[in-house]
Amino acid sequence: MNMDKKTYARYVEARAPRSPLIKNCIHAFLVGGGICLVAEGVIQLLMGVWSMPRDTASAWVAIFLVLTAVVLTALGLFDKIAQFAGGGTLLPITGFANAVASPAIDSRAEGFVLGIGAKIFTVAGPVLLYGTAAGTVYGIIYWICTLIWR
Neighbours of 136 (CB within 10 A): 10
Q: Work out the percent of the chain whose per-residue pLDDT is above 90.
A: 53
pLDDT computed for residue 50 by the predictor: 94
Q: Given pLDDT bands bounded at 50, 70 and 90, which one contains residue 6?
A: confident
When comparing pLDDT for 107 and 57, which is higher? 57
Q: What is the mean pLDDT of residues 10-34?
A: 90
Q: What is the mean pLDDT of residues 128-132?
A: 86
Q: Which of 45-49, 77-81, 117-121 has the lowest mean pLDDT?
A: 117-121
Q: Which of 5-9, 11-15, 85-89, 112-116 has the lowest mean pLDDT?
A: 112-116
Q: If you ran DSSP here, which 8-state letter would residue 55 be given?
A: H
Q: Given pLDDT bands bounded at 50, 70 and 90, which one contains residue 40?
A: very high
Instruction: Let me know if 107 is exposed, middle or buried by CB neighbors in 10 A (0-12, 13-18, 19+).
Output: middle
pLDDT computed for residue 1 by the predictor: 63
When comparing pLDDT for 7 and 62, which is higher? 62
When comparing pLDDT for 144 and 9, which is higher? 144
As a whole number of angstroms, the distance between CA 56 and CA 121 comes to 28
